[in-house]
Structure 1
Amino acid sequence: MNDTGSAPASEVDGAVSTPVPIENVRGKLTADAPLAKLVWFKAGGNADWLFEPADRGDLVDFLERLGGQLPVMALGLGSNMIIRDGGVPGVVVKLGKPFAQVETDENCVVTCGGSAHGILVSSTARDAGIAGLEFLRGIPGTVGGFVRMNGGAYGREVSDVLIDCEVILPDGECIVLPAADLEYTYRHSALPDGAVVVQARFQGTPGDPEEIGAEMDRIAEARENSQPLRTKTGGSTFKNPEGRKAWQLVDDAGCRGLKMGGAQVSEKHTNFLINTGDATSADIEGLGEEVKRRVYENSGVQLEWEIQRVGRP
C-alpha cells in the first residue's frame, strides 16, 4: 500500500491503469487474479483485480472510492461464460456467502441475495410451499446472473417471476429496478453495464411442497439425461432461433463431435461446447465461430451466442 491508500497504477496493454483503492477494504482484493478456476470451462486469463466483498457496505464503499474510473464486471458461478485468454480489464466482483441468503414471506415472495444458487432458491421456495420457481433448479448459476441474462429453462424464465432487483452501479450508487425497467427479451436485459445485482425478489404462487419437489426432480433428471453435466462446459452455447432448436441446427450441419484444439462440440448435446482437458478460451470461442459458419452454410440461419464472452483476446 502506498501513502494514498491505493494500489499503484500498473501497465496494462501499454496504458497506465487507474489506481485501485485498497485502504479499509474488509473483503479480499487480489491483483492479477486467475479466473480459469472460477468458470466452468476452466480456461481463460486473469482479472486485473478480483474483489470479494465482505458485505454490502464493503462493496458500496469500495465502488464509491473507485468512482466509476474502471470497468466493473460481476462474476457468478461462471457457468455461461468464456473468459478470454488475455484476461479481464478493471475489477471483477465475485459475491460470496454474505450475499447468498434466501427468505420467503406469506405473500409467496422469495427474496434472494445476488450470489444465491438456483437450486437453493427453488429448494427454499419448495420448503415454504411456493410454486413457480421450480425451473431455477435447472439453471446452473446465481441470482445475479439469472437477472442479467433473463435465465430460463423448461418453459419459464426470470422475466416471468421477477418483481424487482437491487443493484450497485460501478460508482457505488444503489438503485432498485422494477422488472419492467429491465426490458427483458430472450436471454437479454437492459441492466446497466457493470451493475452488480445484490438482491432480487421473485413472485411465486401457493403450492404443495411434494408436487413442487416432484417437478424439481423431473427437471434434474431431464438435465442429467440430456446434458454433459460432468464435463468442463459452459451450458447452452447458442440461443434458440425463433421456431428452431439450436442443437438441431448444429447437428444437421454435421458438427456433432467437431474439435478445435482442446475444445469439442459435445456428442451428448450439440448445443454444448466442452473443454476436453487443455483447451484455451481461443479454442472454445474459435470452435463456436466455426460452428456458426457451418450452420449458416448449411441452413442459412445465423446463430447468436448465448454464452457471454468477455475480456481481452
Structure 2
Amino acid sequence: MSFAALPSVRGRIKADAPLAPLVWFKSGGNAECLFEPADRDDLIAFLKALDPEMPVMALGLGSNMIVRDGGVPGVVVRLGKAFAKIERIDEVTLRCGGGASGILVSSTARDAGIAGLEFLRGIPGTVGGFVRMNGGAYGREVQDIIVSCTVVLHDGTVEEWPAERLGYTYRHSNLPEGAIVVEAVFRGIPGDPVIIGTEMDRIARAREESQPLRSRTGGSTFKNPPGHKAWALVDAAGCRGLRIGDAQVSEKHCNFLLNLGNASSSEIEELGEEVRRRVQDRTNITLEWEIQRIGEA
C-alpha cells in the first residue's frame, strides 16, 4: 500500500505496522496499515476518502484475537484515548466510547451507583469489541444492558443502531464487516456502590483463580455449545496441557490457549483445530471458535 493512496489524517498512521505487541498472544504478522484516529471526525473523513475496496477492521485490546502470521491486509483501526471517554446521561445510563475498557465502564458505573454492569469487569476488552460480539461473563451479556450504539460504516456513514437492530445471539451481532463501534449507551439499575464494588471484587477473584490471566493467551477460545461447557468437553477429550511447539492448552482452564514463549500464530491455530478434532471424535460435538482469527496464514 502506498501512503500516497491514503487520505490525510490528524491522527497517527503507519504502514507495515507490527500487531503482535498489540494483541494478548504476542504473535502474528503486521498490518498493511495501522490507523489511530485523533477523534471521530478524523475517522469519518479518513473512511469517506478511503478506497471502498480497501478492507477495514477495528482493533481493541487484542484480547480475543489470533493475528495470523501473514499479517492483515488493508487498514486496521485502533481506537485510542480519544474514544475512551464515559459520560453519565441520567441516574442509571452511561454513554461510553468504543475504546473504553470493560474495567473502566464497570468502575465508572460503580462510582455512579449504577448496578447491572458489574460483569463487564470480567470481560478483557473494549466497548467496541464486546458490543460487536455480544460479550458476556458471569451470567450476563451486553444485550442485557445496551440501549444503542453508534457505528461508523466502511464508507464513513454514521448510524445509530438501537439494541433490537443488533439482532444479538450468542457471541454474535448483525453489525456488518468494516463497521466500527465508536460509542454505546448502557443502562443499569440503581445500586449501592459498596455492594456493586463487592460484586466486582468477587468477579475479579473468580477470574484470577480460574483463568491464566498472567499468561500470553487469547481468552476464551471456543463458544459453549448448547447444553455444554466448552472447557469440560476439551478436558474430557484429554486435551488439558496438550502442546504444539510453544502453543499449549492451559492446564488451569482448558478453554484457554497459551503462548508459552515463541509460538507462532499458525501453531496456536493448529492447536485449536486439533482440540476441535479430538472433541468431535469423542463427542460428535463441533466446537466453534469464539476467538477471532484474522489475516493471512
Structure 2 unaligned spans of 5+? none
Instruction: Map residues 260-271 of structure 1 onto 2, 5 A cutoff.
Output: 260-271=244-255
> Do the aligned partners of 1:104 and 1:111 also contact (CA within 8 Å) in 2?
yes
Report the Cα distance in structure 2 between the residues aligned to 1:106 and 1:48, rounded to whole angstroms. 42
Deviations 1:237-291 (A, max 9, x none): 0000111110000000000000011100001000000000000000000000000
Structure 1 residue identity aligned to 2:96? C
Cα distance in 1, alignment partners of residues 151 and 284 from structure 2: 40
Aligned to 2:172: 188
Equivalent in the alignment of 2:261 = 277
Question: 1:63 touches 1:170 (CA, 8 Å); kept in 2?
Answer: yes
From 3, 8, 16, the equivalent of 1:7 is 3
Partner of 2:141: 157
Structure 1 Cα separation of the partners of residues 147 and 51 of structure 2: 29
Q: Distance in 2 between matches of 1:238 and 1:58?
A: 36
CA contact (8 A) 1:152 1:158 kept: yes
Alpha carbons 2:99, 2:128 under 8 Å: kept: yes
Q: How far apart, CA to CA, are the structure 1 residues paired with 2:53 and 2:231? A: 41
Partner of 2:66: helix, strand, or coil? strand
Q: What amino acid is the match of 1:20? A: L
Q: 1:241 aligns with which of 199, 210, 225?
A: 225
Unmatched segments (≥5 aa) in structure 1: 1-5, 9-18
Partners of 2:91 and 2:114 within 8 A in 1: no
2:6 alignment partner, one of 6, 13, 20 = 20
What is the aligned-residue identity percentage? Answer: 69
The whole-number CA distance in structure 2 between the counterparts of 1:270 and 1:62 is 42
Offset at 1:303?
A: 0.4
Q: Secondary structure at the match of 2:178?
A: coil
Question: Which residue number in structure 2 is paired with residue 146 of structure 1?
Answer: 130
Q: Using the TM superposition, give the Cα deviation of residue 216 of structure 1 relative to its aligned residue in structure 2, in angstroms.
A: 0.2
Tell me which residue corresponds to 2:103.
119
Whether the aligned pair in 2 keeps the contact of 1:227 and 1:268 (CA below 8 Å) is yes
Q: CA deviation at 1:300?
A: 1.0
Query: For the Cα contact (< 8 Å) 1:67–1:172, is it kept in 2?
Result: no
User: Which 4+ residue blocks in structure 1 deviate beyond 3 angstroms?
Assistant: none
* Aligned-partner SS, 1:235: strand
Match of 2:19 in 1: 35
Instruction: Tell me, in whole angstroms, the C-alpha distance in 2 between the residues paired with 1:152 and 1:224.
Output: 17
Paired residue secondary structure (2:90): coil
Given candidates 108, 113, 116, the residue that maps to 1:129 is 113
Q: Which residue of 2 aligns with 1:216?
A: 200
**2:66 matches 1:70:** no
Question: Are the equivalent residues in 2 in contact too, given 1:246–1:303 (CA < 8 A)?
Answer: yes
- What amino acid sits opposite 2:239 in the alignment? C
> For the aligned residues, what is the CA RMSD?
0.9
Residue type matched to 1:219 in 2? I
CA distance in 2, matches of 1:260, 1:148: 31
How far did 1:138 drift?
A: 0.3
Q: CA deviation at 1:106?
A: 2.6
Aligned counterparts, 1:166-177, within 5 A: 166-177=150-161
Paired position in structure 2 for 1:289: 273
Letter in 1 for 2:20: A
1:91-110 aligned at under 5 Å gives the runs 91-110=75-94
TM-score (norm 2): 0.98
SS at match of 1:43: coil
What is the rounded CA distance, in whole Å, between the counterparts of 1:228 and 1:167 in structure 2? 33
Please say if residues 135 and 154 of structure 1, whose CA atoms lie closer than 8 Å, have aligned partners that are also in contact: yes
TM-score by length of 1: 0.93
Report the Cα distance in structure 2 between the residues aligned to 1:276 and 1:29, rounded to whole angstroms. 31
